[in-house]
Structures are given as C-alpha cells and as structure tokens.
Structure 1
Amino acid sequence: MDPRFDEMTAVLKSYFDGLHNSDTKILGRVFHPEAHYFCATDGKLLHLDMGEYFPVVDKRPSPASKGEARADRIISIEFAGPVTCFARVECVVRPRFFTDFLTFVKLDGRWQIVSKVFHYDVRE
C-alpha cells in the first residue's frame, strides 16, 4: 500500500486529537500557518485565517473536558501527485456534527492543511 496513506492517517489522528481536546498546539502542527477555514452552513460565508480560528478553539470547552465520546472518522483520502491530498472526514463537537473537506500539501517533509471547508448539522 502507498505509505502516504499511513502518513495521512497519522496527521488526521492529530487533527481529531486537537479538535477533541481543543488543543491549538496540536492543531498548529496540522494546519499550515497560512491555512484558511470556510463554512456557509448559515447561508453566509464564514472565512477565518488561523489567527482568527485558533482563539475560537482556545475559548471553547473541549469535548474531552465534558466527557464526550469521540465520534470522528475518515471517509476518504485522495492524492493528486506526491504533495497534494484531499481528505473527507467527520467529527463531532456537540451539538455540531461536522463534515470536513480538508486540502493538504506536503511541505518540508510533512503534510499540512491549507484549507478546511465544512458543513455541520446541529443535533442533540
């Protein structure tokens, strides 16, 4: 099997760990410093850079601190050449259930998210 799948699975595990623990130190290793974050679920475009996104994560109580079970999974991983990847994943930060489209590039020997586009549903 292509070793990039193992590399990407490890990066996505860190991504899920960072979200579940609201840990921007972990997320800072997964996201490229110039990454962008987009959502239009509410009918208007939300666009944040990492300087705007990380403080939001820092302020929220983590799902781990509330004893919430993890519900994250990788739906697909697709490669376009040796240094470009797309992953579709699902995760939960209650009450929101997310579908994330993550675009990665491999720079300086490591995969980093350069864009996160997502949708969420609110559920109890």
Structure 2
Amino acid sequence: MKLSLIIAWLLSFPLSSLAQNLKDMKTNQTSETEIRNVIENYYFKGIYEGNTDILAKAFYKDALLFGDVNGVPYFKTAKQYIEGVGSRVSPEKSGKEFNAVIISIDIINSIAVAKLNVRMYDFNYYNFITFNYIDGQWMIVNKTLTNVQP
C-alpha cells in the first residue's frame, strides 16, 4: 500500500520539469560563431602577434591555466600567461611556423569547451579551452594544455 502511494505521488510530478529541455541543449549557431570569433581573432591572433591587448580580451580576469609541457607541470594565472606571451618573441616576428586550428566546439547553455591544436616554435600543443558566457560575451575561464611530440 505504501509503495503504491509513493509511486502515485511520484507520477503526479511532470517528468519534463525534472529534466533539461533538450531543445535548449542543442548547439546555438550564434554562440558557436561568437566563440570561433574569440578563438580566431583574439586568442590565436594575440598569440601569433604577441599582442597582449588582443589576447587579454579573450580571457576572464581570473582564468587559470593548467597542463604539462614535455612532462613538466604547468600552472599560470591568465595575467601571468598574457605577460609571458608579451615578453617572448612572437611567432610572427620569429618567422617560424604557426598553425592553429579549431578541432571542435561543444556548447551547452552558457558553457562551452573548444579543443584546439596550436603548432608554434617546436611545440605541438593541444588545448582544451573552457568558455563561459559572462556579461553578454563568451570568455575563456580555463585553459588546459599539453605538448605532444610529433
């Protein structure tokens, strides 16, 4: 009898209100375009040119970066990372190869993850960039990276 009452009580709640609406979870084409813009015109361009003003526009001020470079642990704040980009010879000025591509972008509601491959100097970086939609714009809130030997 108790089990029947519990089941009846549970069935009285609409199940659709408990699950996220799948329609809302589909990739929003406008969001993907905006994220691609941030990656290509601020992140990639800032790295390539060594332009810290452009690069800083892609990052949330308290973003963190983690990973490893040739097995050595890597941790920086966005500020440290951007300063480092500004203090090195840019790939543009070095004349060395720079090839950066977006492998994938996944978006659900106000979060997104982009998988990128950035080849520069003698590095073959794979990045996982986490975005959050903050104050009307997509911003990088986290970056993880590793260098893969060819």
Question: How many residue pairs were aligned?
Answer: 122
- Residue 22 (structure 1) aligns with: 50
* Alpha-carbon distance in 1 for matches of 2:129, 2:35: 11
- Stretches of structure 2 lacking an aligned partner (at least 5 in a row): 1-27
Offset, 1:122: 5.1
Distance 1:45 1:21, change over 3 A: same
2:144 aligned residue (111, 117, 123): 117
Letter in 2 for 1:70: F
- Residue 113 (structure 2) aligns with: 86
Offset, 1:92: 2.0
Bigger RCO (CA 8 Å, 6+ sep): 1
Offset, 1:31: 0.6
Q: TM-score, normalised by structure 2?
A: 0.75
- Residue 98 (structure 2) aligns with: 70
**Structure 1 stretch 37-46 or stretch 104-113: which is displaced more?**
37-46
Percent pairwise identity = 26
The answer to whether the 8 Å contact 1:95/1:122 transfers is no
Question: 3-state DSSP class of the match of 2:131?
Answer: strand
* Larger fraction in helix: 2
Compare CA radii of gyration and give the structure with the larger one.
Answer: 2
Distance 1:17 1:110, change over 3 A: same
Give RMSD over aligned pairs.
1.7
* Alpha-carbon distance in 2 for matches of 1:32, 1:25: 13
Offset, 1:70: 3.2
Matched, 1:104 2:134: no
* Alpha-carbon distance in 2 for matches of 1:55, 1:90: 22
Letter in 1 for 2:79: G
Q: TM-score, normalised by structure 1?
A: 0.89
The answer to whether the 8 Å contact 1:36/1:50 transfers is yes
* Alpha-carbon distance in 1 for matches of 2:86, 2:149: 21
* Alpha-carbon distance in 2 for matches of 1:122, 1:21: 24
* Alpha-carbon distance in 2 for matches of 1:64, 1:122: 22
